[in-house]
Amino acid sequence: MSCILTAEHVHKIKAARKVLKEFKYEPAKLEKGYANKSLYINISNNSIVSKDVTEKMKDVFIGGKGFGLWYLWNAVNPLTKWNDPENEIVISPGPIAGITQYPGAGKSLVVSISPTTGSVVDSNVGGHFGPFLKFSGWDALEIQGKADREVIIFIDGNKGTISIEEAPLESVDTHLIIEELTEMYAESDEDKRNISVVSSGTAAQNSYIGLLNFSFYDKRRKSPRVKQAGRGGIGTVFRDKKIKAIVVKFNGVKGDLNNPVDLKKIQELGIKLHKEIHDFDAIQTQKREVGTANLVEIMNDYDLLPVNNFKYGNHPETWKIDSKQIKKKVTQNMPDGCWYGCSMACAKAVDGFILKTGPYKGQKVLIDGPEYETVAAVGSNLGIFNLDHVLECNFYCDTYGVDTISLGTTTAFLMECYESNILNKEITGGLELTFGNKDAAMELLHQMSRGESFGKIAGLGVRKIKELLVKEYGAEPQFLNDIGMENKGMEYSQYISKESLAQQGGYAMTNKGPQHDEAWLIFMDMVNNQIPSFEDKAEALHYFPMFRTWFGLMGLCKLPWNDIEPANNRQTSEPAKVPEHVQNYVELFNSVTGKTINKQELIVQSERVYNFQRIFNIKMGFGQKVHDNPPYRSVGPVTVEEYLSRQDRYDQQMKELIGVAPDGKTIEEKIKITRKYREDQYEELRQTVYKRRGWTENGIPTLEHIRNLGIDFPEVLEVVNKHL
Amino acid sequence: MIKVNNRPVEWQEGMTIKKLINILKYSYPVLIVTINGEHIPREKYEAATVSDGDDVKIIHPIAGG
């Protein structure tokens, strides 16, 4: 880590702390993956309450994101805005979280009302906080209210104490505060690994796209590192509540703390997967070696890497930012995970990187990552093929508390607006926001941190910038809506979906917005052609979002599901589902909780929560057909240059699929014909998906479906009945 | 003409699975390949000849980004 933390500095900030409220409790012993208690903290009046987790909650909402949605549902009303005191941040790890025998079991789910979408958002994050929270006796942490001064919440899971502390002198930027708090709350160097900090940063308080960092202590580097809950602006909510950090301390991690019913079975499942990873990772996805960054060159090869605001899918200079180059920068070069026992070990870090810009210019820092999404978002999608820029931007996004995906997609949109003469230097305060201009892109981020100039505008995110450009500068709304890569107010993650109808739905028919963690079907659809009919695509858009929702109920990472595959997976009837690993998850859940689900019931568990989240959106004024409309850039070519870049393909499709001869037509005419066809295809897909999901033509879950799922609570029916 | 994943692809004299994968720029590290339903293991990609009219499947077993 970069900062030079002196004992004097730590003493000074410690001396300035003032305990505003202290609460003592008897840490619950976990039973079958649950503490059966959740922690409620209101920082408006400094109240701290221990709540019981009921059997019904566990049956219906399971844990993780399910618990978060249920608590938030009860906390807000349809008029609640993201910055109202009623809004909550709920962190919950899930019943499987914290096991150390099976890879990828250290996740937390964070739920809140989002500043960018105005509705409920969930974000999945690694680091040690979630398991430590559960081992401290809490299945979930709800934070409500708004503090009138800067505070830190500290949970000591061994002593059984919780305190809300005034924190006037601590830093806000993450790379500083995680060091300060790790030092302050640890009793020795050895004790530092027992600390995990949730923090954000200065740009989160000046933008709507703020993220939360969750720390874990790296013993080899002797430094805390971070993982991010990036999507939906929850870091902005965090800073609006005047929370500088949440700290949990727990000493005594062991493999059996969840008190599962069948530890031996969990060990067997874990050993089997560890062996697969050991034997096959090097010839499969190389997560242990390069993390997720290997996708950079793969996406480029398949024309799926976003370039210049998702106009194009590849670029000849991609090699400059691909995983081979990143590997040269990663300093540890050995498997590196974010939770104990994860042999998938996809975490990576760059040590000793010397910053070239910003307030920490000249300092040597540690950078966690970069992940594929970051490389694409702040690299190729901005037309920037410079790895040092990507690393610098990665560092500043993390420490300033900004989501790299939202920042990248927003900056790409601004760059296209600039090149289309919608923006100019006068409006941007002198920034020449052309594609490829790395200096302008970095300065925009620094301005966001300072809350000044055009960076403040950029921090609004794509949807609100579109509204502003129309209102203040008379921009043409349709063009902005076509090229502004957002849906429901959330910026798109980094895949080109134009040639995959299923993925267009996988992005726009999501609950929280276009994040690929619900469904990623591009290869099944565009490359493998395995789901050719509307019904096939709808089935995939039912199964995969439901299956992947399940990870968020449990506290699990998605990667060990299908970024490693058993040797015989190719011989199975549905290799895309990785059936053996699905069965592992069924057995893992049963072995922890003592319940007896099968793979069908696993999907039903998710379906309950998924449909509840859809209804939650409806409660907040969203969640209907109109909110599942994609921007046309995600469906087909908007501009002439974009059409020309794939003219052969589009002309051929016009002839073979649409039945229209392209000869003699202008590019503009061809764009129009292509658009009509593609939008009709999307509409037909949408109706097929709604039907498969048990929804009406307007995207509302039917009463029959709600009853079948057992979520027909009076308050749920009240919301739905208004729309049926 | 051959079919790859049920889509037409121009056949070339001397085509092998390895050459076909290169033409299609299929760089994903894990592929499931069949010719007319017969599985072709990775070590035989260079030797496996693709004839005109063959039905080739090159499946990328990936459903998650």
Is the alpha carbon torsion for A451, A176, A110, A54 positive or negative? negative
| Per-residue pLDDT, A1 | 42
Higher-pLDDT residue of A177, B25: A177
Nearest to B65 among A297, A520, A532 (CB): A520
Task: Classify strands A161-166 and A18-24 as parallel, antiparallel or unpaired.
Answer: antiparallel
Task: At A534, list the tokens.
Answer: 């509307």
Residue B30 has pLDDT above 90, yes or no: no
User: Is A562 in contact with B64 (Cβ distance < 8 A)?
Assistant: yes
| Per-residue pLDDT, B64 | 63
| Per-residue pLDDT, A184 | 95
Q: Which residues of A touch B (CB under 8 A)?
A: 283-286, 295, 297-298, 301-302, 372, 493, 495, 516, 520-524, 527-530, 532, 544, 548, 558, 561-563, 565, 569-570, 575-578
Nearest to B27 among A285, A301, A493 (CB): A301
CA distance A383 to A574: 38
Residue B62 has pLDDT above 80, yes or no: no
Q: Which amino acid is at A24?
A: K
Contact between A28 and A36 (Cβ < 8 Å): yes
| Per-residue pLDDT, A2 | 43
| Per-residue pLDDT, A331 | 76
* Per-residue 3-state assignment (H helix, E strand, C coil) for A274-300: HHHHHHHHHHCCCHHHHHHHHHHHHHH
User: CB burial class (10 A; 0-12, 13-18, 19+) of residue A77?
Assistant: exposed
Nearest to A524 among B25, B30, B63 (CB): B63
Task: At B10, list the tokens.
Answer: 């121009």
* Axis crossing angle, helix A501-508 with helix A534-554, rounded to the nearest 10: 40
CATH superfamily of B2-59: Beta-grasp domain (3.10.20.30)
CA distance A269 to A654: 50
Nearest to B63 among A283, A493, A544 (CB): A544
- Residue in A with minimal Cα distance to B56: A528
Dihedral angle of Cα A19, A23, A26, A30, to the nearest 10 degrees: -90
The alpha carbon of residue B49 is apart from the nearest alpha carbon of chain A, in Å, by 21
Contact between A203 and A230 (Cβ < 8 Å): no
The alpha carbon of residue A656 is apart from the nearest alpha carbon of chain B, in Å, by 12
The alpha carbon of residue B28 is apart from the nearest alpha carbon of chain A, in Å, by 6
| Per-residue pLDDT, A708 | 97
Task: At A227, list the tokens.
Answer: 């993982």
| Per-residue pLDDT, A239 | 98
Give Cβ neighbours of residue A601 (< 8 Å, ≥ 6 apart): none
* Axis crossing angle, helix A438-450 with helix A404-419, rounded to the nearest 10: 120
Confirm or reject contact between B65 and chain A (CB < 8 A): yes
Structural domains in chain A? 7-249 (3.60.9.10), 285-491 (1.10.569.10), 530-564+596-721 (1.10.599.10)
Residues of chain A with Cβ-Cβ distance to B8 below 8 Å are none
Q: Mutate which of B1, B56, B60 to test chain A, going by most A C-beta atoms within 10 A? A: B60
Segment holding A144, helix H or strand E: strand A140-144
Low-confidence ranges of chain A (pLDDT < 70): 1-4, 332-333
Contact between A296 and A318 (Cβ < 8 Å): yes
